[in-house]
Structure 1
Amino acid sequence: GDFLHHPPAELGGEGFLSPRGELFIARREDRAVLDAFVAKFAALGVELDQVDPAGYCPGLRAEWTDALYDPTCCDIDVARLHGAYLSAARRAGAELVCDAAVTALSRDGHWQIETRAGTFAADVIVNAAGAWAEPVGLLAGAPPTGIAPLRRTMVQLRVDPPAPMSLPLVRDAHERFYFKPESGGRIWLSPHDEIPTAPCDAAPEDIDVAIAIDKLASAVDWRVEAVERRWAGLRTFAPDRKPVYGFDPAVPGLFWCAGQGGFGIQTAPAASKLAAAMLLGSAPDPMVAHLDPDRYSIQRFRG
């Protein structure tokens, strides 16, 4: 909840967010789970409405009797927002070098960074390597941290009857699956999996796609006509599932910006302001001035 903020206006206009709404569904015997959700979100200033789930999700099976609805949930146009961030970085003088996997790091007063795209030098390096954050930290000489990637599967299905675009994001209160509508009556569906894996260009497994469809069938009476797309991504977490920001006291000139889990693009507007203030030694933006940076230090994993 610390970093959930709207994209900054200076990125070039509105339109990064569109209303969606979120529906947490539960069976009657799991009502206590929804009560816990209410308490959790109340602490973040979000009020959840108790609703009849059948009125929000056509085709929902009768055993799903209870639900909470969050009208403030939005979809993010991730591609457009990411492109806006890259454009802003270029305007500020940054150069993006792709296909530049780091192969070696050494330091003798300054960092020497060996990559597939050539050799670079720097006074400070920022470890924002996502799923590769732990290997990059080890190359820099940092002690192990336990930051690790978990694979998440997503599929696009064509269903009958077609899913209405008014459908909210539907999430099982036990966080075992979620789905939302896509254009043409399709849905995006995930089994909410978190499968430990090595850093890689992740690919979906057939068994995880099958599990996702089986979980969908437990919730709605729709017929799956086709699996049109399938993909997987890596969501990287520190052992306590909080992000890691700040200089590494064990390695001079190494700054961590890692472990954002599945919320990197969502938390970026505020998280980057905190990280930038820590990196540059400047006063933090008012948006994040209330945050304690020590709670995100890599030092918390080192006793």
Structure 2
Amino acid sequence: MTHADVIVIGGGIAGVSAAAMLAEHMSVLLLEAEPRTGYHSTGRSAAIFIRNYGNATLRALNAASAPVLENPDGVADSSLLSPRGELMLAEEDEVDTLDAYVADAVGMDMLTPEQAVELVPILRPERIASAAIEWDAQDIDVDRMLSGYQRLLSTRGGRIVTGAPVTALLRLGGVWQVSAGGAEYAAPIVVNAAGAWAGQIGQMAGALPIAIQPMRRSAAILPAPGGHDLRRWPLFGSITERWYAKPEAGKLMVSPADEDPVEPHDAWPDDMVLAEGLHRFEQAVTMPVTRVEHSWAGLRSFAPDRTPLAGFDPQAEGFFWLAGQGGYGVQTAPALSRLTAALIVGLSPEVAPEVIAMLDPARFATG
């Protein structure tokens, strides 16, 4: 039996960053089912920081994460962000949605169709009824971020065990006994950062039956459109998420922005869903889609109200939920990891009490 003060289940960016923050105060053991950390959603992220992305709670987390991403002391020696921008486009039936989004946003400018085409020359101006840009949206160096938190965890004495899927959780004498990968582990506190598998881990622990729903999202890499330099193009896409595209290493990553409910698994794209999304993209631009160089899919896992969970379960003592980050996991990880450490160690949280209340899993305790 290997003992620690806290066991973190899940080696995505949420689990690794939380473990690194906790390791400053207590002994930490992280269990990851796959052969390496960041295998699922973290390694398949669109890797962009969008301040206006998500509901009010998520935007508060975005704001709290921004200073850490810009100055990642202890995680990296320079900013994890680089300029990109996000251009949101609306056809006639999407104008009201774009107007509502901009009304609740900060740092966004409305653009004419012609201005949008100046930024992304392959757009069809006749398909643009309205457009807006968030200039401050930025790329995130996810690989450097994950490896930086992992290095910090190791420096602080934390340990990562890979190839260790959790098969049983049992609370005995105020201590969680965890069976994983054929070995036994014990700690008074367990942090459930298992991503798409968080609901299953909660069920094993006898915690609240919170339905964490994984949603598949697909993407494809297309050759760069001929005669264009993509380096300064923003991410661009439909405000109602019919599709979006982003420059990626000199090529173009396009997603149908699908959100299909699936069981937790090692995700792969549905060919029909991907083809339909690429067709929607093709209708909005002047470039034909003639070849897909590579395609993949990841899982974005949501709580029923689409707001993350961060807090102790009200019925399973010592069981901490850090789950349901949806498509916001990478950009909210700095804030949620610090909040997790604060709530577990007993420090003063850096986010407002009303934000903490909205993240509390106890909100699902009645009904």
Category of TM-score, reference length = shorter chain: over 0.9
Alignment partner of 1:237 is 2:302: yes
Contact 2:339 2:349 in 1 (8 A): yes
Does residue 1:175 correspond to 2:233, yes or no?
A: no
Q: TM-score, normalised by structure 1?
A: 0.93
CA contact (8 A) 1:21 1:74 kept: yes
Deviates most, 260-269 or 217-226:
217-226
What per-residue deviation string (whole Å, max 9, x for no partner) do you get for residues 146-169 of structure 1? Answer: 111111101111143255222110
Post-superposition Cα deviations, 1:221-240, rounded to whole Å, max 9, x if no partner, equal 10223211111111110000
Q: Give the match for residue 215 of structure 1.
A: 280
Q: How many Å separate the matches in 2 of 1:147 and 1:73?
A: 28
**Offset of residue 289 of structure 1:** 4.7
Aligned pair partner of 1:49 in 95, 110, 115: 110
CA contact 1:124–1:253 (8 Å) conserved in 2: yes
Q: Match of 2:61?
A: 3
Q: Which amino acid aligns with 2:77?
A: G
2:331 is the alignment partner of 1:270: no
Instruction: Give, as a single letter, the amino acid of the residue that structure 2 aligns with 1:188.
Output: M
Q: Is the 8 A contact 1:126 1:254 kept in 2?
A: yes
Cα distance in 2, alignment partners of residues 192 and 219 from structure 1: 15
Structure 1 partner of 2:201: 136
Asked if 1:193 is matched to 2:258, the reply is yes
Unaligned segments of structure 1, at least 5 residues: none
What is the Cα deviation at residue 291 of structure 1? 4.9
Give the secondary structure class of the aligned counterpart of 2:252.
strand
Q: Which amino acid aligns with 2:73?
A: A
Aligned twin of 2:13: none
Bigger helix fraction = 2
Equivalent AA in structure 2 for residue 111 of structure 1? W
Alignment partner of 1:11: what SS? coil
Measured against aligned partners, the alpha-carbon deviations of 1:256-281 in whole angstroms (never above 9, x if no partner) come to: 11111111110111111111111112
Letter of the 1:180 partner, please give it: K
Contact 1:245-1:256 within 8 A present in 2 as well = yes
Do the aligned residues in 2 keep the contact of 1:102 with 1:114 (CA within 8 Å)? yes
Q: Secondary structure at the match of 1:223?
A: coil
1:290: how far off? 5.5
What is the aligned counterpart of 1:100 among 126, 151, 164?
Answer: 164
**2:322 matched to which residue of 1?**
257
Q: What SS does structure 1 have at the residue aligned with 2:331?
A: helix
- Residue 86 of structure 2 corresponds to 22
| CA offsets 1:165-204 (integer angstroms, 9 cap, x no match) | 22110021122110011233x2001111111111111111
Letter in 2 for 1:125: V
| Higher relative contact order (Cα pairs below 8 Å, separated by 6+ residues) | 2
Tell whether the 8 Å contact from 1:160 to 1:224 is kept in structure 2 after alignment.
no
Question: Size of the alignment, in residue pairs?
Answer: 297
Identify which range, 51-60 or 187-196, moves more after superposition: 51-60
Gaps of 5+ in 2: 1-58
1:162–1:244 Cα change, 3 Å: farther
Query: 5 Å matches for 1:142-181?
Result: 142-161=207-226, 163=228, 164-181=230-247
RMSD: 1.6
* Larger deviation, residues 62-71 vs 186-195: 62-71
Aligned 8 A contact 1:151 1:197 in 2 = yes
- Which one is further off, 206-215 or 235-244? 206-215
Quote how far apart the aligned CAs of 1:143 are.
3.0
Percent identity over the alignment?
40
Which residue in the other structure is 2:24 paired with?
none
> Following the alignment from structure 1 to structure 2, what is the Cα–Cα distance between the partners of residues 79 and 117?
29
Quote the offset at 1:14 in angstroms.
1.4
Q: Is the 8 A contact 1:99 1:116 kept in 2?
A: yes
**Residues 85-109 of structure 1: CA deviation (Å, up to 9, x unaligned):** 1111111111111111000111111
Aligned partners of 2:315 and 2:219: how far apart in 1? 38
1:79 aligns with 2:143: yes
Residue 25 of structure 1 contacts residue 68 of structure 1 at CA under 8 Å; is this kept in 2?
yes
Amino acid at match of 2:136: T
Whether 2:104 is the aligned partner of 1:40: answer yes
Which aligned runs of 4 or more in structure 1 are off by greater than 6 angstroms?
Answer: none
Say which is worse superposed, 236-245 or 11-20, in terms of deviation: 11-20
Q: Counterpart of 1:155 in 2: which secondary structure?
A: strand
| Aligned-partner SS, 1:9 | coil
